[in-house]
A and B are shown apart, each in its own frame.
Chain A
Amino acid sequence: IAGITQAPTSQILAAGRRMTLRCTQDMRHNAMYWYRQDLGLGLRLIHYSNTAGTTGKGEVPDGYSVSRANTDDFPLTLASAVPSQTSVYFCASSRGYEPGANVLTFGAGSRLTVL
C-alpha cells in the first residue's frame, strides 16, 4: 500500500541523547514535512522540503535538523534531546508545495518521550 512509513513507532529517550526519526514515502511526492503535535497546541511545522536537495524551517525548528538527499527519505534528527521535545511527530508529504498540490498525506506518527 502506497504511503508514508515512519520509524520508530514509539521511543523513550534520555535527555541529551541524539535521536533520528525516519520517514520514507513511496508516492514520488516532491514535498515532505515534519510536524509535531502537542495537546492544546495542535500541529506545528518543524521543517519542510519542497523538493529533494532543499529544506526550509517551519514554525518550531530549534533543536531539530533535517536532510533530503533523495525524493523518498526525509529523516528528522534531534541532536541533543530535551524533555520539551516530548511529543508525537508526524511526517507528511504532498505532490508539490504550490496551492492545489499541497494536500498532505500523513504517516502514522512517532511517539517520543524524553526523560
Chain B
Amino acid sequence: QKEVEQDPGPLSVPEGAIVSLNCTYSNSAFQYFMWYRQYSRKGPELLMYTYSSGNKEDGRFTAQVDKSSKYISLFIRDSQPSDSATYLCAMSRSGAGSYQLTFGKGTKLSVIP
C-alpha cells in the first residue's frame, strides 16, 4: 500500500460546480498537510497548508483534514475554468524521522465553461 493515495482522475466539471479532491494516507505520523496546484507545463505552487485535523478556508478553497480517517480533502466552490490544473496533495511527518514531503500522484481537473 502506498503511503499516500490520490485518484488521478481526470475529473471534469461544469463551471460553477463544487469540486471535491481527496487523498488518503496510511502513516499516522503525518501531521502537516498541503495542497499544490500545477498548471500544464509549470511547476507546482502551494495552494493550502494545514496542521493536524480541522478545516482551513481561503477564498473559494477549503482544506479539510480528518486524521481519524486518514483522509484529506480540498473543496473548490464556484469552480472557474482557471481552476483547471492538476492538484497534488502532500504531507509531512513530525517527530523523529525524515521530514521529506510525501506527495500524491495528483488529480487532473478540468472546469468546462
List the A side residues contacting B42 at CB < 8 Å: 108-109
A53 proximal to B (CB < 8 A): no
Q: A interface, how many residues as a size bin?
A: 20 to 34
A31 to chain B, nearest CB (A): 9
Which residue in B41, B43, B44, B105 is a CB contact (below 8 Å) of A40?
B105
B71 proximal to A (CB < 8 A): no
Q: B interface, how many residues as a size bin?
A: 20 to 34
- In whole angstroms, how far apart are the Cα atoms of A90 and B88 in the complex? 14
Which residue in A42, A99, A108 is a CB contact (below 8 Å) of B105?
A42
Supply 14 further A-B pairs (C-beta < 8 A) apart from A42-B103, A90-B43, A109-B42. Answer: A42-B105, A43-B103, A45-B100, A58-B100, A99-B31, A99-B93, A102-B92, A102-B100, A102-B101, A103-B49, A105-B46, A106-B36, A106-B44, A108-B42
